[in-house]
Amino acid sequence: MTSPRLVIVTGLSGAGKTQAVRCLEDLGFFCVDNLPPMLINKFAELCAQAKGISRIALVIDVRGGEFFASLFEVLAELKRQQINYEILFLEASNETLVRRFKESRRPHPLSTSGEILAGIEEERQRLQELRGYAHKIIDTSNLTVAQLKEEITNLYGDGEGTTSRLAITFVSFGYKYGIPLDADLVIDVRFLPNPHYEADLKPLTGLDARVRDYVFGKPQTAEFMDRLVGLLDFLIPYYTKEGKSTLTIAVGCTGGKHRSVALVDHLGELFKQNGYRVAVRHRDVWRGHNLAGEQLVI
């Protein structure tokens, strides 16, 4: 009897668990929301015996109340029974979560006094230990629905047309807004000539051909990319050998609008052509604009 693939989706309220599970359903996962942890083992056994259920996604969060406290015992039992599982933990900044709750006009599940921030901080503290168990952490603060879906698909899709089980996410970002919390590797490209100081390129982004031509037209860019790709070609097989299933590579410039965007787009396309499962995310390219796409809602 082969155990189905088990993904436990958890994290902060308002961080996008509902959207993540919808995406997993689209990928063919059998999804159950708010299952009491003490029933996970039995549920996994039943699914293993059933025909046609090879992938399961379970949403576990603080709504389970006192049941939630038993989760760590359940995880230990799953390990003893050699039932493989993966924990996907979703989070977002306090500012983002407060905004999402206000926009939805829904109360936070732990906010007894009606103060959203107090509920968020209480939940963050309760989930801190579980966060340390996570196989993958996604910060959704600056993600659109489409970007989250792409990341989930990259992590848990079948990977048709690829030759590697390692899922690589390339992220462009601006140092002025902070380094992505989920980054495994951080590449600083602020040494490259900046299109921001070219009057005709300043209002554009690294998604525009003129900006890409400017960035890649510099000799130091060509040399840097050769060295970076060589480094990644060297590192990735070792990460794979160690059993790493996801790799997030963050490339940053000053504002996350020009240089890093152009380079990340190029890297994503290159490694996709080389048979890797690739997702590309431009975290800060639309900051200050109303063009970021459909935002995550709760």
Mean pLDDT across the stretch 46-73? 80
**The pLDDT of residue 107:** 86
- In this structure, of 61-65, 103-107, 149-153, 261-265, the range with the lowest mean pLDDT score is 61-65
Residue type, 280: V
CA–CA gap between residue 46 and residue 102 (Å, rounded): 40
- Quick check: 249 pLDDT over 70? yes
Q: What is the mean pLDDT of the chain?
A: 88
Structure-derived torsion over alpha carbons of residues 184, 76, 25, 50, reported in degrees to the nearest 10: 140
CA angle 160–162–166, rounded 5-degree value: 110
- Quick check: 231 pLDDT over 90? yes
Encode pLDDT of 6-19 as tens digits.
Answer: 999 999 999 999 99
Encode pLDDT of 118-176 as tens digits.
Answer: 899 999 999 999 999 999 999 999 888 888 988 898 888 876 555 566 889 999 999 99
Kindly list the domain boundaries of the chain, sorted by start residue: 5-141, 167-282
How many CA atoms are closer than 13 Å to the CA of 8, on its beta-carbon side? 28
How many CA atoms are closer than 13 Å to the CA of 295, on its beta-carbon side? 18
**The pLDDT of residue 1:** 57
Q: DSSP readout, 5-61?
A: EEEEEEE-TTSSHHHHHHHHHHTT-EEEES--GGGHHHHHHHHHHSTT--EEEEE--
Kindly report the length of the chain.
298
Specify the pTM. 0.68
Residue type, 74: V
* Residue linked to tokens 């994290």: 11
How many CA atoms are closer than 13 Å to the CA of 31, on its beta-carbon side? 17
* Residue linked to tokens 């979560």: 97
Encode pLDDT of 178-201 as tens digits.
Answer: 999 889 999 999 999 999 999 999
Encode pLDDT of 265-297 as tens digits.
Answer: 999 999 999 888 898 999 999 886 644 455 555
CATH topology of domain 5-141: Rossmann fold (3.40.50)
**The pLDDT of residue 291:** 46
Q: Per mean pLDDT, which of 28-37, 45-54, 209-218, 274-283 is the most reliable?
A: 209-218
